[in-house]
Structure 1
Amino acid sequence: MPIFSRDNGDDNGELCGVKKAGDIIACVFWLIPMSMVGILIGYGILFGCFFPLCAELYNKTVASYTAYHQEYLPTFIEFYAYAGILHPLRRIRVCWRSLISKFRKNATTLNVPRECTFPQELFEIIINFCYPHRQTLLTCSLVCKAWVPTSRRLLWIHVHSGDRVRQLVKLLNSPDSAISPYAQKVSLSMYTKQDRLMRYRHALRTLANADSRIIRAKITGQSLEPARALRRYFPHLRRLSFSYEDKGDIEETSAANFRRILLYSSLFCDLQHLSIQFNRQGNSTEDIPLSSLEEITLPAGLRSLSIKTWNKDFLCWIKRHRATLRLTTFKLKVDSHWQSALDSHLISAILRPCRTSLQFVTLTIFECKNGFLNLDYLTELRVVVFYVYHIPSSKATLSSLNSSHIENITILTRDGENMTRDYFDQFMTGISFSFSYGKSGLRRYVPSIVGSSHDI
């Protein structure tokens, strides 16, 4: 039998005849699985050979690592495990699902545009909740450019330089300074004459040139000159606070200083919140007579007024503006040595024009000679805070509260909590609502007709 034969054009002796399509398909279906099995067997042999070597290398690596590097070793192991095993499996799973979804009849495809991003407003709300944690805000400012304005605004919301005004000016003039665009509040404290005022003016001018949006300012000390500089560079302040310490040597000088505070306050047309604290040294129990206040007017947009001193002429001047007075917040806090000078009728005359707008009230309650302070006309009150030096005198004022919108009532007193509780049980009979009391307002009094007293 010959080993070789002549090819006469007969293809029946071939392994896979081209005329038989079934044989070709059978070859393809047999060759592909067999090749995959061969590849897997080869990978298994290689893995079995190299696994002991890899394990030994890993043990030597861990043994040679210091304690500091061993803390970060699991991170590298997790990364390589994800890159070498989990990520390929995830890609196979995603490709398989996308392939199956094409053959499903009821499959729905959701086309999400690539430019679709998370709303910036939600990012700002979340970042605002991070205040005052500075480390978190610093991290947020380095993550994304869109987060920088909100993060830096909270980071530089309060910058205190003290006496180092020169360093502050140098920092503001630096091209890398990130304070100027985000500063909102300025606190000026000056207890000497023109020494530091010039440096303060340089700082304020630098802030103004950088288009800073200063809306709040506080002036502390024995000089009112910083108010003029503020008026020059930031005429659109919304919050202004004075904490002035008058020497009290001459009554006329003290009265002139008080008038200057009112004059400087009236120059800020956009002012909404005003706080005045006038501490007079020496004989501070005497009321300073004020004159020539007719030309000074309150800002038309004033909504919050805080007074931490008693002056009858000053309150009468406020009462003259009752036609345009629309306060939402009123605070009057004075020391106990002003007890004999308090006038409940004068306070009522100021509060009555604001009966439909006033929502927050903070008052010092005394036993006035001309009767108790009646608040029944304030029908929109939400929050009430009383500083009480004589607890029995506060019952009448508490009983006069007639607002159905009250959310919180707090009575702050210097007496001990046990003594205060005994006073309330004795003098607060007839009060039908609960309120907080104590030195910090952390205890709650509930009348006997409602329940018993308990801690918040």
Structure 2
Amino acid sequence: MTSSRTSSRTSRIVRTGKNGQPLPDLVPLPLPISDVISLEIYDLIIDFLYSDLQALSTCALVCKAWLPASRLHLFCHLELAQLNFRRFLDLLKSPDFSAHVRARTNKMTMVQHTGSYKRWLQYCIPYLKDFSVKILDISGLAFAHNGNPPPYPELSGLQAHFQSVTQLHLRSTKLNSCMQLAELVCSLRNLERVSLLGVSWYPGAPSHPATGPVERLSLPPSLVELDIQSEHPSYLRDILNWLAEYDQESLPRIHTLVLVSQRQIPGPNDFGLSAERLLNNLGASLLNLTVSHFDFRNHEGDLHLLSLNTSLRTLHFYDVDVQRSINPELAVFHRRMYSWIPSMLAQIPSSDIRTVSFQVVLARAQHLDGLDWGALAAALSRPQFSQLARLEFKVSSFKKQAEKMIREKLLECTQRRILDIASFPNS
């Protein structure tokens, strides 16, 4: 009897489900996850999710311990637009959140969407003070009104609140004049890289700064890269004329320069004079140069480009259009357009050239005959190119046919095994 009672007391209670099947035994809850593995390990794991915004947002909701590391990447890049600027201002009303965002934001993008309210940025400007932004990307905004001064308050706010910026990218941005652009660039004293893609202003805008002579607008001393790509030659001409006014002593040591026009510039013209003056003033500091759609000869037909750029290492000819047109006059123009390229290569004094590249637009492989291959081969055989390690041709189409033709035309470069032929999507 006693043994029966003891057996009943020590017997295990088996839990069953609705279908009568036994359920697993209950186990104690695990320790908090942060007590099992060091938080530094989780921070490293979250760092690998830096580009996955959805995953970072989920991590931020797991626990307070994961929030700082998640926010670090979530707010590293802020994009402001008319669609979200009110929510952005509401978030900044929280003191703790505002301080965190101001300290963590490394890149800020300001985008103007088509058809949206155009003056939304003026409401954001007062709240942008003390942001530690290093990269400022502005796309589609207009800081002008029929060419009338004074500048918009948004532009003045950018000059006042973004002194920490080291990279400035302007895309499809409209200003009152080229000199308003000069004032913006020169006011950001810590700039290292400037990219101007499709910047424009009103026709007939003044070509001199409103504050006085160009000497009073000194370029940022830390500027090392300058990328200028214009949809219309007139805007590029104004920018070149502005930069050409600086002498060698007042120019920073720019080592990378991009001069690209989306439209062909008939030559010779004053573009060559301004470009020559700018390049000569840059002198030995220039290491990398990209050019397109230029005829750098002056009105007398002379070419003295790169004569002082003794340290040049990389030369890239961008968007070389050698297509033959059914229009004979246009076909002659295409041939003349790039006849200066071999002459330019032949005059380079630098013996440090490591890379020369061409991006060529083709409608047919036979259109490569538009280049003067004999003069090009002769230029590349000069002693200055004895250290050349890579000669690259990027073609828009017909890669196999183009590669065969190029290797036959440049036989010496083929034997040196420095030729590289690739393709690129032609939009």
Identify whether the pair has TM-score above 0.5, normalized to the shorter chain: yes
Q: Assess if the C-alpha contact under 8 Å between 2:283 and 2:308 holds in 1.
A: yes
- Describe the superposition over 1:195-240 as per-residue Cα deviations: whole angstroms up to 9, x where unpaired: 754x5344343343xx531122234432252221112322332222
Q: Which amino acid aligns with 1:374?
A: L
Aligned to 1:437: 394
Secondary structure of the residue aligned to 1:259 is helix
Moved more, 399-408 or 221-230: 399-408
Q: Which amino acid aligns with 2:309?
A: L
Taking the TM superposition and a 5 Å limit, the aligned residue runs for 1:17-416 are: 131-134=50-53, 152-164=71-83, 165-174=85-94, 179-189=101-111, 197=119, 199-208=120-129, 211-219=130-138, 220-223=140-143, 225=152, 226-243=154-171, 257-276=177-196, 277-280=198-201, 289-290=207-208, 292-294=212-214, 295-308=216-229, 309-311=235-237, 315-325=241-251, 326-340=253-267, 341-370=269-298, 371-372=302-303, 374-375=305-306, 377-387=308-318, 388-389=320-321, 390-401=337-348, 403-416=350-363
- Report how far residue 323 of structure 1 moved: 0.5
Secondary structure of the residue aligned to 2:412 is coil
**What RMSD over aligned residues (CA atoms) do the two structures have, in Å?**
4.9
Q: Which amino acid aligns with 2:391?
A: S
Query: Aligned partners of 1:141, 1:441: CA distance in 2, in Å?
Result: 50
Aligned to 1:448: 411
Query: Aligned partners of 1:425, 1:334: CA distance in 2, in Å?
Result: 22
Q: Which amino acid aligns with 1:184?
A: N
Q: Assess if the C-alpha contact under 8 Å between 2:393 and 2:421 holds in 1.
A: no
Counterparts in 2 of 1:425 and 1:196: CA distance versus 1, 3 Å:
closer
Query: Aligned partners of 1:397, 1:141: CA distance in 2, in Å?
Result: 56
Query: Aligned partners of 1:287, 1:335: CA distance in 2, in Å?
Result: 22
Q: Assess if the C-alpha contact under 8 Å between 1:411 and 1:441 holds in 2.
A: no
Secondary structure of the residue aligned to 2:77 is coil
- Report how far residue 422 of structure 1 moved: 3.8
Moved more, 133-142 or 374-383: 133-142
Query: Aligned partners of 2:66, 2:359: CA distance in 1, in Å?
Result: 41
Q: Assess if the C-alpha contact under 8 Å between 2:363 and 2:397 holds in 1.
A: no
- Describe the superposition over 1:149-189 as per-residue Cα deviations: whole angstroms up to 9, x where unpaired: 66544433433343122122123334657644322233335
Secondary structure of the residue aligned to 2:285 is coil
More helix by share: 1
- Report how far residue 190 of structure 1 moved: 5.5
Aligned to 2:30: none
Query: Aligned partners of 1:440, 1:373: CA distance in 2, in Å?
Result: 33
Counterparts in 2 of 1:279 and 1:232: CA distance versus 1, 3 Å:
closer
Secondary structure of the residue aligned to 2:89 is helix
- Describe the superposition over 1:373-405 as per-residue Cα deviations: whole angstroms up to 9, x where unpaired: 633543433443222343433222234445455
Q: Which amino acid aligns with 1:411?
A: F
Counterparts in 2 of 1:396 and 1:270: CA distance versus 1, 3 Å:
same
Q: Assess if the C-alpha contact under 8 Å between 1:293 and 1:317 holds in 2.
A: no
Q: Assess if the C-alpha contact under 8 Å between 1:140 and 1:151 holds in 2.
A: yes
Q: Assess if the C-alpha contact under 8 Å between 2:60 and 2:67 holds in 1.
A: yes
Q: Which amino acid aligns with 1:358?
A: L
Counterparts in 2 of 1:408 and 1:334: CA distance versus 1, 3 Å:
same
Moved more, 314-323 or 441-450: 441-450
TM-score, length of structure 2 as denominator length: 0.61
Counterparts in 2 of 1:357 and 1:368: CA distance versus 1, 3 Å:
closer
Query: Aligned partners of 2:398, 2:122: CA distance in 1, in Å?
Result: 42
Query: Aligned partners of 2:355, 2:59: CA distance in 1, in Å?
Result: 36
Counterparts in 2 of 1:153 and 1:287: CA distance versus 1, 3 Å:
same
Q: Which amino acid aligns with 1:132?
A: S
Secondary structure of the residue aligned to 1:214 is coil
Query: Aligned partners of 1:346, 1:230: CA distance in 2, in Å?
Result: 29
Secondary structure of the residue aligned to 1:240 is strand
Counterparts in 2 of 1:301 and 1:419: CA distance versus 1, 3 Å:
same
How many percent identity over aligned positions?
Answer: 20
